[in-house]
Structure 1
Amino acid sequence: MSKKQVVIETAEEKMKTNSKIMVACDLSAHSKEAIRCGAALAMDLNTELLIVNVINQRDVTAMEHAIEKIKAEISNFPVTIGEYLEGLKKQRKDDIDKLLAELDCPKPPHAIRIAVGVPFKRLIDVAKDEGPRFVVIGTKGRSNLADVILGATAEKMFRHCPFPLVSVRLQE
């Protein structure tokens, strides 16, 4: 049995025993709709909602380089990459709390998780750790045809995630 098959079987086992609904949230209008859908499903299924936001590693790397350049010019520059990430995580958690407060539906018990990495990979890692019943993701358009229909992260999630996915679009 290959390593990939073992991981998929483990994910399937977790899905059978765990009834969380995981929502991928990038703080866009699309993710607000995904949270609304995930919350409604969690209420209907009497389960917990897990909202996951990923800070893109590309942005963290760019900030690391910017801080290094600034520190080369200003010897006592007060910001470190750790402080930057902590502030960003707090801001994102606050923003997700605001999105939840704006929902006009009952709110299930929920948890918020902020991760750092390549968005689709970290979302899959979190899903494997948490073993949700399924993952809810908002879709949006970007550049190429697949991205225009789904969004880059959603498209990659559909190709690689070992859990069922629910795609949510904004209503016109």
Structure 2
Amino acid sequence: MWDVNAVSAAVLKALKTYRLSEADARDVCQDAWLELLRAPGALRDEAKLGAWLATTARRRALRMITRNRRETPRPLSDAESSPETIPETEVIRAERDRVLWAAVDRLPDSHRRLIRLLAHRPELSYAQLAGELGISPASVGRLRRRCLDRLERTLEKGGWA
């Protein structure tokens, strides 16, 4: 069986980067446990309990931060006026990017290669993409659509609409 206190402590440690109050962090941790109890089939491998709870807690923390920002707007100082300088924005962006690239890594090889080319070399034409991928230029559009649809479904399954 699990050492609930040890697992909860690890989840709370993972939440430190979100700069939640102690009470909010504990609420998020508790919500993650409750989600596990409500959907016992969500955890397929008991050995990954800590990772599952940490991921669930991170998502809930991001939702809490977003909700709190909408509910309690505050004027920004000049130093904070750029979205790039707000710590919450950086945390959300980093988590989003981590999840996105993890989902890309689970795609079939041809889809993975296309996504990486689209992301890192956006200047390529369909003919150039086709040359890089070893397919006909007429196939690039269909492959791109299938690839993006599959990526979208993968992200939606993980709770990232």
Higher strand share: 1
> Shorter-chain TM-score: what band?
under 0.3
Higher Rg of the two aligned structures: 2
Higher relative contact order (CA 8 A, sep 6+): 1
Structure 2 length as normaliser, TM-score?
A: 0.26
